[in-house]
Structure 1
Amino acid sequence: MLTNHSPLPKLRPIVLVPLIALCSLLAACTAGPTVSNVPSITATASAVASPTRVTRPTATMAPLSTLAPTATAVPTPPSTATPVFADTATIHARSTVPILCYHQVRDWTVDDATVDKAYIMPIKTFAEQMDFLDQQGYHTISPDQLYAYLTTGASLPAKPVLLTFDDGHGSEWTNAVPVLQKHHFQATFFIMTVVLDKPHWLSSDQVKQLDQMGMTIAAHTWDHHRVTRYSGDDWKQQITLPTKELADLTGHPIKYFAYPYGLWNTAAFPYLKDAGFLAAFQLSDKMDPGAPLLTIRRIIASGTWKLQTFQDNLAEDF
């Protein structure tokens, strides 16, 4: 075989011409041309085998009428199966997401009684708690996500936590929301409507803005009266009308409710369902085995907590 480095042999002119003609004839009879100096192909994620030069037999073309048409794959539509709702026992067993309940987020003053400090979270302490959640990989979730998880087993992000704020104090807007935004956290605001547009409390416009930010706006009665004492027209005054007011402000139904003081009774359940609530939140009592969605537990984030206490409560099985 001749190589790129082999010298051509000396041929007399009379021999060279027939030889060239013979080579041309042989080239025409071969299966294909010799490929040389082909650049190498860089392998991709799916390996492709290098082609091997072979002598192909002469193929006999079949008539076009006998060739089977190539089948075209029909795309399969996505599944639209309706999620299966869990029974109450399953829902009760799934309720293990930590839910923290905050109230005012501001520094203590000389006028704050010792008992009130449990409901007043100093600004620095709140910032430290949110820093901890972010650094430790916690993910804030919405009540919608929690509801889907409890009822259908829908997946939640790793280390989920639900942040809630009760009452609608102005410090939630001025001191808590900027920290939440810094960490890209979402939260739920349970608002009693009697305080709207009052000094030191949330304004109607701020409620709208919270909703537009992606926060969840939820109901917390009209004036924080205990649900366990309602009768007659109280249900309309405390549940129906304030819920409608919040729905009118946000432009969509209000789906979640928090009991004032965390106190509840089974007599409230029909009224909450009639108001359209998917779930209701209490505090530390055991969930009702017959209505776990209407007695979801929370824990008050006390302003007196040290960071270690905060961590311990996050690890507690709710």
Structure 2
Amino acid sequence: MNKGYKKIILMVCIVLMVGLVGYKLFNDRKVKSENQLTNDQNTSANKKSNQEEKNKEQTNANKDKSTEVKKEREFKEGKLKYNDISVPVLMYHSIDYEKGNELRVPKEKFKEQMQYLKDNDYTTLTLDELYSFLVNNKPIPEKSVVITFDDGYEDNYSNAYPILKEFGFNATIFVITNAIDNEKPFITSAQLKEMEQNGIDIESHTLAHDELNKLPYDKQVETLKGAREFIEKKLNKKVKYIAYPFGKWNNDTIKALKETGYDMAFTTVGGWSNKSQGIYTLHRVYVSANYDMNEFKRRLTNPKYNVSHNKSNNN
């Protein structure tokens, strides 16, 4: 074999070896890159899964907390009464001072009234508990009271809410949903969420403080349904109760309430609530800034105080 031929064979062998080494290095890098990508994807997926699990746990915890707050109590001790007896449902609006405006009860007067309830062992009922009492004859403490606020003023959060928390009281705010986050002096959705999680029930006062008895049936359905859906979406809760703006309603209103999923409704007719009035036309005890403590006590302790709220002020 001549020398030229040997050189050719040697060069071919060298080229093949270089090619094999290069292929191996390229393949190793590719495998490593693919493995790294797979590991990164797995790590990302695990992180996402862990975060989703944490979010789910937090959501469940919030739901559990809400459920705990809203759970109806079983009253078995002490003097009880049943649903043939009336219950005072206090009706407030704004908790603040404004000269000449009887709807605005000063914070100091409101606290004095709440202190009286506390000192005299009153139980503040939720609306679920009142409903069970009136409809299902579930017993409640003899000295029971319901606290409600109409419209949803910001001072319900800044002035009333801290006092209610201090005494551990339940209460309900009937809100005008179109005013939330949009108008002063009305409340915000963030404030509503905080209160809803701490014993304050948020219910409907229609979309725009509508005089329901002046609306055709389809418009009544629209405002009742719209307000309910707004609150349910904002607070992740079921809305079942309403207070009529201006205390106004008609037969169409009750029909519309049933169609849109409401279970109980309140007027502004002065008096204690009882089942004989009808579950959609319950009375309430108006609380004016002009009343002294003696008048407050009289309305709270006498189911036949027979002082009606002047309809010109029915808000």
Counterpart pick for 1:101 among 83, 91, 102? 91
Contact 2:83–2:139 at 8 Å: present in 1 too? no
Counterpart pick for 1:210 among 181, 192, 195? 195
Tell me what 2:265 maps to: 280
Distance 2:239 2:275 in 1: 24
Tell me what 1:311 maps to: 297
Tell me what 2:240 maps to: 255
Counterpart pick for 1:166 among 142, 145, 150? 150
SS of equivalent to 1:267: helix
Distance 1:232 1:149 in 2: 30
Distance 1:123 1:225 in 2: 28
Answering whether residue 256 of structure 2 is matched by residue 234 of structure 1, we say no
Distance 2:222 2:279 in 1: 23
Tell me what 2:133 maps to: 149
Distance 1:130 1:288 in 2: 23
Distance 2:301 2:228 in 1: 33
Distance 2:166 2:200 in 1: 14
Question: What CA deviation, in whole Å up to 9, does each residue of 1:80-112 have, x standing for no partner?
Answer: xxxxxxxxxxxx973510000100001224xxx
Letter in 2 for 1:228: N
- Cα distance change of structure 1 residues 139 and 288 upon mapping to structure 2, 3 Å threshold: closer
1:285 CA drift (Å): 6.2
- Cα distance change of structure 1 residues 240 and 311 upon mapping to structure 2, 3 Å threshold: same
- Cα distance change of structure 1 residues 164 and 289 upon mapping to structure 2, 3 Å threshold: closer
Distance 1:213 1:278 in 2: 23
Letter in 2 for 1:103: H
Where does structure 1 lack aligned partners over 5 or more consecutive residues? Answer: 1-91
Letter in 2 for 1:107: Y
Q: Percent identity?
A: 29
Distance 1:224 1:264 in 2: 12
1:204 CA drift (Å): 0.9
Rg (Cα) greater in structure = 1
Letter in 2 for 1:192: I
Letter in 1 for 2:192: V
1:164 CA drift (Å): 0.1
Distance 1:276 1:224 in 2: 19
SS of equivalent to 2:191: helix
Q: Indicate the RMSD between aligned Cα atoms, in angstroms.
A: 2.1
Where does structure 2 lack aligned partners over 5 or more consecutive residues? Answer: 1-81, 305-315
Contact 2:210–2:245 at 8 Å: present in 1 too? yes
1:237 CA drift (Å): 3.4
- Cα distance change of structure 1 residues 165 and 289 upon mapping to structure 2, 3 Å threshold: closer
1:162 CA drift (Å): 0.1
Distance 1:233 1:148 in 2: 30
1:132 CA drift (Å): 0.6
Provide TM-score, normalisation by structure 2. 0.66
1:289 CA drift (Å): 8.5
